[in-house]
Structure 1
């Protein structure tokens, strides 16, 4: 399985309203629940008026379109990283999954996954 590196630093944050988010940028995830409005975006695109923010994330995505019948892909990846004491922040889209790790763990994460047979592109 191939994993594609996302080549920029990411920020995970909470914002108070949608109008704070620049939806014209090329990479972001928005999550809204009854408790919060969360945003993952390129660090340089982080809104000024965040409620909370956590910078210093790097990420990769599982290449290709994952069929909904596939089971355990995210579990396997997160399990490998957990064995190496690397925490994750996962985001899923219709097509695939993205895994974010803190910058200081990024190379260790890639090494761990490579040693388990994943290809990094």
Structure 2
């Protein structure tokens, strides 16, 4: 399975509302619940109406379109990284899964996954 590196820094944010979010940015993940308005975006695109933020994230995606019937792909990656004391933040889209890792653990995570047979591209 291929893992595609994404060459950007990301921030995980809580925003007042989505009025200042740059929806034209290459990466913009929005999650809304009755308790919060969350946003994951490239650090350079963090809006000014951010209430809280956590910077210093890097990302990769599982390459290709994942069928909804596939089981355990993200769980396997999360398990491998957990065994190596690397925490993750994951976002799933219609097509695939994105995995966010703190910058200081990013290269180690890619090395661990490569050692486990994943192909790292990008």
- TM-score, normalising length: structure 1: 0.98
Residue equivalent to 2:18 = 18
Corresponding residue number in structure 2 for 1:116: 116
| 2:54 match | 54
What SS does the corresponding residue of 2:19 show, helix, strand or coil?
A: helix
C-alpha distance in 1 between matches for 2:23 and 2:108: 32
What residue ranges of structure 1 are gaps of 5+ in the alignment? none
Distance (whole Å) between structure 2 residues aligned to residue 46 and residue 87 of structure 1: 23
Distance in 1 of aligned mates of 2:18 and 2:119: 37
Structure 1 runs of 4+ aligned residues shifted over 6 Å read none
Instruction: State the alpha-carbon separation in 1 of the partners of residues 72 and 64 from structure 2.
Output: 16
Q: 97-106 vs 45-54, which deviates more?
A: 45-54
Deviates more, 1:1-10 or 1:17-26: 17-26
5+ residue gaps in structure 2?
none
Equivalent residues of 2:17, 2:49 under 8 A apart: no
- How far 1:48 moved relative to its partner? 1.5
Report the Cα distance in structure 1 between the residues aligned to 2:73 and 2:24, rounded to whole angstroms: 31
In structure 2, distance between residues paired with 1:94 and 1:46: 23
Number of aligned residue pairs: 121
1 CA distance for matches of 2:60 and 2:24? 21
